[in-house]
């Protein structure tokens, strides 16, 4: 038995956008995360809101939301979606690691995994941009899907 052909590869080997036109719309959600590893000085400046550029959490939250809404402009084979909601939340894993968790939802023929992932990635990049004057060695790690619901494949959760 051969492996199934990837959905974005046409029989001739070219790239193609998956046709979702005949799929029934269903409620779909996705959650994603990114970790931002900062120096103690950058983490303290972020926590204490003393960064020269202003409130990094507000900027990153807005950037993540805006990015999710523009995912199809950034990812070539992603479908434009009417995103119903996007959330961007922050929590400290430890003194110097910020966890960004995002969520997205829609009612449509395809999922919002890419929207949640793009939101997490751009929110993390915004934290980097806001903190880079304090620490250029900030690392963004573990950008990943945590969960998706809806559609033909149902619910999936990271282990």
For 35-57, give the DSSP string.
Answer: EEE--HHHHHHHHHT--TT--HH
C-alpha 111/C-alpha 149 separation (Å) is 8
C-alpha 61/C-alpha 102 separation (Å) is 9
C-alpha 11/C-alpha 26 separation (Å) is 28
C-alpha 99/C-alpha 89 separation (Å) is 8
| Residues assigned a catalytic role | 129
């Amino acid at each position: 038995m051969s492996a199934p052909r990837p959905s974005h590869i046409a029989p001739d080997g070219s790239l193609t956008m998956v046709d979702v036109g005949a799929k029934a719309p269903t409620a779909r959600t996705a959650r994603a995360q990114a970790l931002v590893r900062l120096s103690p000085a950058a983490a303290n400046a972020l926590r204490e809101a003393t960064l020269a550029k202003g409130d990094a959490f507000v900027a990153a939250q807005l950037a993540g939301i805006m990015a999710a809404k523009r995912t199809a402009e950034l990812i070539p084979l992603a479908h434009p979606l009417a995103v119903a909601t996007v959330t961007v939340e922050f929590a400290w894993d430890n003194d110097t690691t910020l966890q960004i968790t995002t969520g997205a939802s829609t009612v449509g023929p395809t999922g919002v995994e890419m929207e949640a992932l793009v939101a997490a990635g751009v929110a993390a990049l915004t934290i980097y941009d806001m903190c880079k004057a304090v620490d250029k060695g900030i690392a963004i790690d573990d950008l990943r899907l945590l969960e998706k619901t809806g559609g033909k494949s149902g619910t999936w959760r990271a282990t």
